[in-house]
Amino acid sequence: MKTIRIGLALALLSTQALGQAALPKKTIRLAETQAALLLEQVPQAAQAKPAAAGKPALVSPRTLTPTGELVLVASRDWTSGFFPGYLWLLAEATGQEKWRTAAKTYTANIEPEKTNATTHDMGFKVYCSFGTGYRLTQDAAYRDVILQSARTLSTRFNPKVGALRSWDHHRETWGYPVIIDNMLNLELLFAATRISGDSSFYKIAVSHANTTLRNHFRADFSSYHVVDYDTLTGLVVKKNTHQGFADESAWARGQAWALYGYTMCYRETKNKAYLTQAENVARFLLNHPNLPKDLIPYWDFNAPSIPNEPRDASAAAVMASGLYELSTYSPNGALYRSKADKIMSSLTKHYTAKPGGSRGFLLLHSTGSKPANSEVDVPLIYADYYFMEALLRRKTLGPVNSVSKR
């Protein structure tokens, strides 16, 4: 009996160790080197190519041009919050004040977005910057920005449809488009309820998640990119794509958004339907015959020229971060943790920039929009953000399936 107890204790310690993995020092050093370079490059690029007269200031790095020039964006761009968020995560990973100082500076640049009601991307912009900062500092001013941003985002909710409107553009194509990406913006609404006690944000988030669950997924649990709704009836008008290969194809980053989004929704609600959906999406991704052995997906799982198609490191980073969290909720946690580890190992070994290269970006070989021939095989700031988040989740999330009490 004593031998059995010792064996169980050792097994428990081994399981707990999985959740307390040390951050890889070499990778963190590279991230610091690259972030320091980006912090030098951004003001230089802004001075060399300032915003046009009457246009908002360029405040955050997004990617590189085909000729290697740094691309900066204004706060209204959907990617603007990832760089300050990345700096916050780097501060968390290292404990160094210089990264917190830089994070505060670049986070402040995003504050004008708190009242920008023309976009659904409030979570990407504000939660990744102010939300991450608030988690680490408990700054009351950050709390206020989160709440105002949630109020602004809530104005895009249509009760008849039961979802938040995604885009205002392409009105000749869609009457009321909802994209799978929008699942990530729900985290801002959940956070707003948590810090304010106002359940209206929570109800909107749940309604959106439920509407998306009903209408975005195929029988194999792959997701459409865009679902268009009739605002008078709330019924689906059409289902198609904007960034994928075809309407019926599985755009890789869209599938990663779905995995991450429903895992997050389960965390916030403990609704078993969301956990089941996250596991279904994970099964689709991990068992797909077109998923490469290194687990870094092609930009679309149904792209016509596989294996001669661009990869998407950003989709892989989102997948890894989502799988790490899912591993703590699911009976299949050990599998999800091992797959996330494999993704991170592949990204670290074969998809990172050389120190001092790529203008300071960390990950290479992402794909923004292949159909538009935009941002193909380039660094993307959101890839760096989710890669760093995945590293930290691996260290801090805790044991596999540690809270799976369903």
Give the residue-averaged pLDDT of 171-184.
95
- The active-site residue, picked from 77, 181, 300, 384, is 181
Mean per-residue pLDDT over the chain, rounded: 93
Is residue 353 assigned to a domain?
A: yes
**pLDDT band at residue 21, thresholds of 50, 70 and 90?**
low
Q: Residue 64 belongs to what domain range? A: 20-396
Integer Cα distance of 212 and 82 in angstroms: 25
Integer Cα distance of 323 and 319 in angstroms: 6
Catalytic, 121? Answer yes
Start-end of H helices in 270-350: 272-286, 313-326, 333-350
Is residue 48 assigned to a domain?
A: yes
pLDDT exceeds cutoff 70 at 167? yes
pTM, entire model: 0.93
Element (H, E) at 13: helix 2-18
Q: Any bridge partners for residue 236, and if so which?
A: 229
Is residue 266 assigned to a domain?
A: yes
Domain tally, the chain = 1
Phi, psi of 288 (to 5 degrees): -70, 130
Around Cβ 404, how many Cβ atoms within 10 Å? 14
Dump strand ranges (E) for 149-204: 157-158, 163-164, 177-179
Is residue 291 assigned to a domain?
A: yes
Under DSSP, is residue 363 helix (H, G, I), strand (E, B) or coil?
strand
Is residue 401 assigned to a domain?
A: no
Q: What is the pLDDT of residue 15?
A: 38
Is residue 349 assigned to a domain?
A: yes
Q: Answer positive or negative: Cα dihedral of 112, 156, 212, 208.
A: positive
pLDDT in tens, 341-381: 999 999 999 999 999 999 999 999 999 999 999 999 999 99
Is residue 9 assigned to a domain?
A: no
Query: What is the torsion angle, in degrees rounded to the nearest 10, for the CA atoms of residue 72, residue 76, residue 80 and residue 84?
Result: 120
Q: What is the pLDDT of residue 193?
A: 98
Give the residue-averaged pLDDT of 56-81.
97
Task: Render 44-64 in DSSP notation, one character per residue.
Answer: HHHHHSPPPTTSPPEEEEEEE
Integer Cα distance of 262 and 395 in angstroms: 22
Integer Cα distance of 155 and 157 in angstroms: 5
CATH of the domain at 87: 1.50.10.10
Is residue 377 assigned to a domain?
A: yes
